[in-house]
Amino acid sequence: MSMRTTPGVRLLPNAITVLAMCSGLSAVQFALNGQLIGAIAAVAVAAVLDGLDGRLARLLDATSKMGAELDSLSDAMSFGVAPALTLYAWQLQNNRVGWVVSLVFAVCMVLRLARFNTLLDADQPPYAKEFFVGVPAPAAGLLALLPILLTAHFGHPGWWAEQNVVMVWMLLVAALAVSRVPTLSLKTVRVPPRAVAPLLVLVVVLAGGIITFPLISLAAALLLYLVHIPYAVYRHHWLAQHPEAWEAEPRERRAIRRRTARRLGLRPPLRRRVAGAARRVRLPRRNSHPDGPRRSWRRLELRRSRNDGAAR
C-alpha cells in the first residue's frame, strides 16, 4: 500500500496541529495557577509544533484543505486567544480596559491569519515568497508574552509588568501583526556556502544558551527578531526595485547592489564628465612639450605680477 493512501499518514500532520492547539490553550491554565514558566513553555511548544505540521504534511504528501483550515484555527487559538487570556489572567483582571485590549489582540491575530489565507491564492512577484506580510502569528504570540518572560527570569515584576505597559505592548504587537510591514521568512532563506560553518556555530551557541539560560535566551531571540524588521523592510524595498536579483546568485546580487550604490553616489564615482561639475584640467609634465621644456603657469603668473608692479 502506498504512503499516499495510508490513513494513518494523512492523520499525523492533523494530529500535530491539534496537539499544538492544546498546548497553546494550556498556557491559560498555567497562568491561572501562577505557573509563568509553564505558560511560556506551552506557547513555545505550540510554535514548534506549528512549524512541523505543515512541513510534515508536504513531506508525506498528506496536504489537504481540511488540514489548512485546521492549521489556521489552531494558530488563532494558540497565538491569538491563548496569549490574550494568559496576559489577562496574569496582570489585567482588575482592569476593564485590559479586557478590551485582550479582545483587540485576539481579533488582530484572527485578521492576520485571514489575510494570510487570502494571499495564498493572490498573484505576487517571485521575491514575495521571501517575506511575510506583518509579523507571523507564532512570533506575535511569543512577543506578547515577553513581559511574563522577563518576570519569570528576574523572579519579580518590574516596570515591564505594569498594567499600562502590558496593554501598550499588546497593542503594539497586534499592530505589527496586522500591518503590511515585511518580515523575513526562514523558509526561503538561502545560506551561502561560506556562511554554513559560522551558522552552525551560532546554532550551537543558541542551543547552549537555551539549555543553560532558557528564559533570557528566548527574550534575546525575540528582541533580535524585532531588530531584523528594518532590514527586512530595506530588503523588500530593494527587491521591489530589482526583481531580477531575487533568482540571481549571491555574487551577482552583490554586483547589482554595487551598481545601484554607484548610481546613488554612495561610492567614489567613475572618472567621467558630469553636468554641472567642474572640469579637471591636467597640465602636461615637464619636458613633455614637443617644442621643449614648458614653464609652470604658477611661475608665469608670479612673473607677470612682479612685472606689473615694477611698471607701476
User: How many whole angstroms separate alpha carbon 34 and alpha carbon 156?
Assistant: 13
Return the DSSP state at 286. Answer: T
pLDDT at 166: 94
pLDDT at 100: 94
pLDDT at 297: 46
User: How many whole angstroms separate alpha carbon 222 and alpha carbon 144?
Assistant: 10
88-123, pLDDT tens digit by residue?
999 888 888 999 999 999 999 999 988 888 877 767
pLDDT at 259: 66
> Per the CATH hierarchy, to which homologous superfamily does domain 7-252 belong?
CDP-alcohol phosphotransferase transmembrane (TM) domain (1.20.120.1760)
Q: Assess contact for 9 and 64: CB atoms under 8 A.
A: no
The residues with which 184 forms a beta bridge, in sequence order, are 131
Q: Which sequence spans correspond to the domains of the chain?
A: 7-252
154-199, pLDDT tens digit by residue?
888 889 989 999 999 999 999 999 998 989 887 766 777 777 788 8
DSSP per-residue letters across 201-252? HHHHHHHHHHHHSHHHHHHHHHHHHHHHHHHHHHHHHHHHH-GGGSSS-HHH
pLDDT at 10: 73
| Phi, then psi, of 182 in degrees rounded to 5 | -75, 140
User: How many whole angstroms separate alpha carbon 105 and alpha carbon 99?
Assistant: 10
Residues of the chain where predicted confidence (pLDDT) is lower than 50: 1-3, 5, 269-271, 274, 277, 281, 297, 300
Q: Where are the alpha helices (DSSP H) in the chain?
A: 7-32, 36-59, 65-76, 82-91, 96-119, 137-144, 146-154, 163-178, 196-212, 214-241, 250-263, 297-311
User: How many whole angstroms separate alpha carbon 139 and alpha carbon 132?
Assistant: 11
**Polymer length of the chain:** 312
pLDDT at 304: 53
Residue 222 burial (CB count, 10 A):
16
Return the DSSP state at 279. Answer: P
**Set of cell numbers at residue 277:** 561639475
